[in-house]
Structure 1
Amino acid sequence: MSKREVEIADLHPTQLTLGLVEVAKRAKRMSALGKRELDALVEDKPVPCVIGPKGRLYMIDHHHLCRALLLCGRNTVFQDVSATKDWSHMELHEFWPAMDKAGMCWPIDADGNRRPYARIPDHVRALTDNPWRTLARGVRGKAFRDDDDTPFKEFMWGEYFRTFMSKRLIETDLDLAEDLALDLAMLDEAQDLPGFIGKEK
């Protein structure tokens, strides 16, 4: 795998939100690591990107990792050069629809509303909280398979869970919300979602 160290500030998000509870948990775990351990963790998780208009790098995964690293005081990550698509020849108005069609962006807000691509922030620091993403991450591997690498999978499951429960439940009793999510993940209504396990689990 070919990779190079880059500034997190030079990586542009491809989504509007992330799970801030998950970010805080990751930052706490990483803050407890020694420098050598943290360096090894970061090097082992290179960020896949697309080269967009004007040569800008658009990250298509590891938004949570980057935000957590910033909380830990680290400003660099490794870019996965081998996985990079070069779409720098495109104009911005061509780039975002191409990213959307390829499943490499998520212009959906925490309320499930689709937003203009221009609303996607330029920096991972500006991403806002999505409790549904936090919920989906909390049940990943139990409610749905962890080995499925579909981009934005947790967002898709979060949107599914959102149709059955209130945000207040997640905010006041995350454990209960996760128990409910595990039951909801078994329903036939979820069978088209990536990583579906169903009643076989």
Structure 2
Amino acid sequence: MPEFREIDIDVLHPTQLTLGLAEVTRRAGIMRTLSRGELRDLLEDKAVPYVVGPKRRLYIVDHHHLCRALLTIGHGTVLLGEARADWSSLPLKDFWHRMETEGLCWPIDVDGNRRPCVKIPDHIGQLTDNPWRTLARGVRGKAYSNEDTPFQEFMWGNYYRSFMTTRLLEADIDLAEKTAVKLSRLDEAQDLPGYLGS
């Protein structure tokens, strides 16, 4: 049995600018129905991988939605998983460059624009909504396969954003999902993780 370290979510630093708030709400709803033991099992299964950064701050590289959902239900701790790297000796600028090079951060905003990594908020609670990421999560499995690739849903969401409007997402999510499934089979998507082919 692995030993898990319980830690306050407040001390963990995000590595992305946005998340899908609808996904957070969905997960929080499920978590509210779990017993204490079931929640513990979930947290052990979803132990949070991280990188040690400058000043020995912990930067999480997955499970941002889990952490935000836990905060939503008033649960302030999570379990730490694998330490992917210790780059605490690097200056902040070099640290973020290494994080980007290794694909361990996603400094892309909701409009698909790259932002300086230092603009990534310090706290999970400060991440803003990205409906494109929500769309991508909603069609995962139907449109593309789930791969163990960091920020996979963001990559697909960014792809869908280049073909659709936010108005469609707001007006008819069912049509947006059907459109996303069709777009996922185009040759233009073949370099994205989990591409299923045409």
Q: Which residue of 1 aligns with 2:166?
A: 167
Q: Which residue of 2 aligns with 1:13?
A: 14
How far does residue 160 in structure 1 lie from its aligned partner after superposition? 0.5
5 Å-filtered alignment, 1:61-72, equals 61-72=62-73
How far does residue 152 in structure 1 lie from its aligned partner after superposition? 0.5
Q: Which residue of 1 aligns with 2:4?
A: 3
How far does residue 2 in structure 1 lie from its aligned partner after superposition? 4.7
Q: Distance in 2 between matches of 1:39 and 1:71?
A: 16
Contact kept, 8 Å, 2:17 with 2:120, in 1: the verdict is yes
SS of the residue corresponding to residue 104 of structure 1 reads coil
Q: Distance in 2 between matches of 1:86 and 1:172?
A: 45
Instruction: Check if 1:26 corresponds to 2:35.
Output: no
Q: Which residue of 1 aligns with 2:85?
A: 85
Q: Which residue of 2 aligns with 1:76?
A: 77
What RMSD over aligned residues (CA atoms) do the two structures have, in Å? 1.0
Q: Distance in 2 between matches of 1:143 and 1:94?
A: 36
Q: Which residue of 2 aligns with 1:42?
A: 43
Runs of 4 or more off by more than 2 Å in structure 1?
Answer: none
Give the share of equivalent positions with the same residue, in percent.
61
| Matched length | 197
Q: Which residue of 2 aligns with 1:94?
A: 94
Q: Distance in 2 between matches of 1:83 and 1:51?
A: 7
Structure 1 unaligned blocks of 5 or more: none
How far does residue 83 in structure 1 lie from its aligned partner after superposition? 3.5
Q: Which residue of 2 aligns with 1:51?
A: 52
Contact kept, 8 Å, 2:52 with 2:83, in 1: the verdict is no
Q: Which letter maps to 1:152?
A: F
How far does residue 43 in structure 1 lie from its aligned partner after superposition? 1.7
Q: Which residue of 2 aligns with 1:192?
A: 191
How far does residue 3 in structure 1 lie from its aligned partner after superposition? 2.8
Q: Which letter maps to 1:161?
A: Y
SS of the residue corresponding to residue 198 of structure 1 reads coil
How far does residue 119 in structure 1 lie from its aligned partner after superposition? 1.0
Q: Distance in 1 between matches of 2:132 and 2:12?
A: 24
